[in-house]
């Protein structure tokens, strides 16, 4: 059988099967650490800089280990890449008889029951939605997996998918008349039988922590869990260890009940009327928060004039709805399921209003069309540690951004790893890229304080010479949507005054995938974006030569979850800035900076406008955590570096 040294050697099976493979010392050393952790059932926390080849570094020892492995990734895109490309490639190269399976959340699979029910109901907002649902119905007849990622005819964000998939709430489970055709259950059966199962963090927490069918059965039988993009885990865990109830869920319940009533209790007019009344109460509750999206603490919402009145009305309407629904629930499985959901939603609303004495943060998130009542744990460390200790197995956490400098204390504390016995093994492998030659870090002199009313103007003034010198090819990453829109407008005005005809893109003008495709294809574009483009975005080659970051990415101090955690840390005698806010900002900054250099041939300038990185003592921690690029504070040096780059498209 192939061993690690042979697998990664210059004339080994990977080099033979993969033309682009190059042996890297960091990759082999990381693979050795992972193989040791798998063999000894240890916890390993590993940061691997961009270009290390961490995917192969964990896949090779995983496939050679002979055990059952769960791979959990940050995004469905990376899931698909692992399952469709990386795993088959390595399995073939190593010639190991390993079976692999892909498991996603149920919203990714066509549900024959809901598809048929909603197609028959035939109520659509647009002709396009109706056409999309017909296309999904055709896809359902020929697909083996039911995975909507394979249905190229229908956009991933089409509203028709809501009518063609199930949710945790409205799935009928084993009582479903179409259970034999269920794609979700088929995917779960395949996962139970496979040696390597690829999931994502959302599914891992939703199914393991909430003990849904599926992963709750998978975990006891596996020998190891490997988390890629592990820096996302604290946020994802907070989401699933908490509790949430939203007006969107209530509207969905009303729609589903109406559909089930038309199918199984058409003569009960009272139930149709009750669904309308429930929808009105949910919409009135959303209107209590005004028109703007926001994140509000429990104290802030309690001070709103209509909040209590609208929540009382919603609560009363849920009770009235349940009373009518109870009289019809025996007429179909679908109606019985709607009654169960009504009870759960009512209980969540009651719990939010009178929470148990626990370490939970109560807050409300207001979206353009909905509002959600949230209860988020102050910390997830205790709950997560119990999962780790429940079964002896290897747990491996890896990402390009986990440490602050070389220190993993913040991450290990957040995830409950610091108190484990034996303690986790930690390791950092720097990027093999030659940052001193490939990149320049530019911290412009003379920037105003980030709270200055004209700070956005200063950022645009700094960005424009770089954009012009690079002939486009720029990401401008902003820490707020307001700053993003303002800076986008200012850059547009500046380019127009200079007579530059460069394509200027703005986050929100299309989906993230569409915007990235346009950016890569144009080759000379400028994209102004916010948080969703700070990570998981890969533009190797000369389409991206400048990344401008407006501010150090500290979470807004008035965010209700952050404010509660800061208060808790203060009461515990800790410095919340040094223990929590700064480490998180460093990890986020490393993600944003990581967009620039994605291959050995990439060249570019990283411009961080925020003067606190230079002027404040804590700024040195940020500065030292960034890749070892050459550094300058002088604009002509940055411009000269960009002017010597090859022109866009290699022309």
For the cut 60, the answer to whether the pLDDT of residue 1 exceeds it is no
Query: Which pLDDT tens digit goes with each residue over 544-555?
Result: 999 999 999 998
Query: Which pLDDT tens digit goes with each residue over 20-53?
Result: 888 899 999 999 999 999 999 999 999 998 889 9
CA dihedral sign, ordered 281, 285, 290, 294: negative
Instruction: Please state the rounded mean pLDDT for residues 131-155.
Output: 92
Instruction: Please state the rounded mean pLDDT for residues 225-230.
Output: 95
Look at 176-180, 237-241, 302-306, 341-345 and tell me which has the smallest mean pLDDT: 237-241
For the cut 70, the answer to whether the pLDDT of residue 606 exceeds it is yes
Asked, as a colleague might, if the bond just before 169 is cis with ω within 30 of 0, I would say no
Give the pLDDT band (50/70/90) at residue 386: confident
Give the pLDDT band (50/70/90) at residue 609: very high
What is the structure's pLDDT at 540? 74
For the cut 90, the answer to whether the pLDDT of residue 420 exceeds it is no
For the cut 90, the answer to whether the pLDDT of residue 149 exceeds it is no
pTM (predicted TM-score): 0.87
Give the pLDDT band (50/70/90) at residue 355: low
Q: What are the DSSP calls for 297-308, one per residue?
A: EHHHHHTSTTHH
- State the chain's mean pLDDT as an integer: 90
Q: How far is CA 380 from CA 74, 165, 240, 288, in A?
A: 18, 31, 10, 31
For the cut 60, the answer to whether the pLDDT of residue 531 exceeds it is yes
What is the structure's pLDDT at 419? 83
- For residues 214-224, one letter each, b for 16 or more C-beta atoms within 10 angstroms of the residue's C-beta and e for the rest, the string is bbeebbeebbb
What is the structure's pLDDT at 596? 85
Cα 592 from Cα 7, distance rounded (Å) = 33
Domains defined for the chain, CATH in brackets: 4-105+185-239+379-429 (3.40.50.300), 108-177 (no CATH), 246-377 (1.20.1440), 435-650 (3.40.50.300)
Contact 402/370 with Cβ under 8 angstroms? no
Instruction: Please state the rounded mean pLDDT for residues 170-177.
Output: 86
Give the pLDDT band (50/70/90) at residue 516: confident
Give the pLDDT band (50/70/90) at residue 281: very high
Query: Which pLDDT tens digit goes with each residue over 450-503?
Result: 999 999 999 999 999 999 999 999 999 999 989 999 999 999 999 999 999 999
Query: Which pLDDT tens digit goes with each residue over 629-649?
Result: 999 999 999 999 999 988 876
Give the pLDDT band (50/70/90) at residue 359: confident
For the cut 70, the answer to whether the pLDDT of residue 215 exceeds it is no
Contact 376/358 with Cβ under 8 angstroms? no
Cα 535 from Cα 95, distance rounded (Å) = 34
């Amino acid at each position: 059988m192939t061993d690690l040294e042979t697998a990664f050697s210059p004339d080994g099976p990977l080099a033979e099967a993969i033309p682009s493979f190059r042996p890297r010392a960091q990759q082999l050393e990381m693979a050795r650490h992972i193989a040791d952790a798998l063999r000894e059932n240890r916890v390993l926390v590993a940061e691997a800089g961009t270009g290390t080849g961490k995917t192969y570094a964990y896949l090779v020892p995983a496939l050679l280990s002979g055990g059952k492995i769960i791979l959990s990734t940050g995004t469905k895109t990376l899931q698909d890449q692992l399952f469709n490309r990386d795993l088959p490639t390595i399995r073939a190269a190593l010639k190991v008889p390993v079976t692999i399976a892909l498991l996603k959340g149920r919203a990714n699979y066509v549900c024959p029951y809901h598809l048929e029910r909603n197609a028959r109901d035939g109520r659509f907002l647009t002709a396009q939605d109706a056409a999309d649902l017909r296309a999904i119905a055709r896809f359902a007849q020929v697909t083996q997996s039911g995975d909507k990622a394979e249905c190229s005819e229908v956009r991933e964000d089409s509203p028709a998918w809501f009518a063609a998939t199930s949710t945790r709430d409205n799935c009928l489970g084993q009582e479903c008349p179409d259970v034999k055709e269920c794609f979700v259950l088929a995917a779960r059966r395949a996962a139970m039988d496979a040696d390597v199962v690829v999931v994502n963090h959302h599914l891992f927490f939703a199914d393991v922590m909430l003990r849904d069918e599926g992963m709750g059965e998978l975990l006891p039988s596996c020998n190891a869990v490997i988390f890629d993009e592990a820096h996302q885990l604290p946020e994802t865990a907070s989401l699933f260890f908490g509790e949430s109830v939203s007006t969107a869920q209530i509207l969905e319940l009303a729609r589903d009940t109406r559909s089930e009533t038309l199918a199984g209790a058409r003569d009960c007019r009272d139930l149709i009327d009750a669904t309308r009344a429930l929808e009105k109460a949910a919409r009135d509750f959303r209107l209590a928060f005004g028109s703007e999206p926001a994140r509000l603490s429990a104290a802030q919402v309690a001070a709103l004039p209509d909040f209590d009145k609208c929540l009382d009305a919603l609560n009363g309407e849920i009770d009235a709805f349940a009373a009518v629904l109870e009289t019809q629930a025996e007429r179909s499985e679908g109606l019985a399921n709607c009654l169960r959901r009504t009870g759960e939603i009512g209980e969540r609303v009651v719990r939010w209003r009178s929470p148990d004495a626990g370490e939970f943060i109560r807050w409300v998130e207001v979206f353009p069309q909905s509002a959600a009542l949230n209860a988020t744990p102050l910390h997830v460390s205790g709950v997560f540690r119990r999962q780790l200790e429940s079964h002896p197995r290897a747990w491996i956490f890896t990402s390009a951004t986990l440490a602050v400098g070389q220190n993993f204390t913040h991450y290990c504390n957040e995830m409950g790893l610091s108190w484990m016995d034996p303690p986790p093994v930690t390791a950092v492998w720097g990027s093999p890229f030659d940052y001193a030659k490939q990149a320049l870090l530019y911290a412009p002199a003379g920037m105003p304080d980030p709270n200055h009313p004209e700070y956005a103007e200063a950022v645009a003034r700094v960005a424009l010479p770089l954009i012009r010198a690079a002939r486009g090819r720029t990401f401008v990453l902003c820490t707020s949507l307001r700053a993003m829109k303002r800076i986008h407008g200012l850059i547009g005005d500046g380019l127009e005054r200079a007579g530059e005809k460069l394509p200027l893109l703005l986050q929100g003008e299309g989906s993230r995938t569409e915007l990235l495709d346009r950016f890569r294809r144009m080759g000379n574009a400028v994209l102004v974006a916010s948080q969703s483009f700070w990570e998981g975005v890969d533009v190797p080659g000369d389409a991206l030569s400048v990344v401008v970051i407006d501010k150090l990415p500290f979470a807004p101090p008035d965010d209700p979850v952050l404010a509660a955690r800061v208060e808790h840390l203060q009461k515990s005698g800790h410095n919340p800035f040094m223990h929590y806010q700064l480490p998180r900002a460093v990890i986020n900054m490393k993600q944003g900076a990581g967009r620039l250099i994605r291959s050995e041939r990439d060249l570019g300038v990283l411009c961080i406008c925020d003067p606190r990185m230079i002027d404040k003592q804590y700024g040195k921690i940020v500065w030292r955590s960034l890749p070892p690029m050459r550094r300058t504070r002088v604009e002509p040096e940055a411009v000269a570096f960009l002017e010597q780059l090859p022109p866009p498209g290699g022309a």
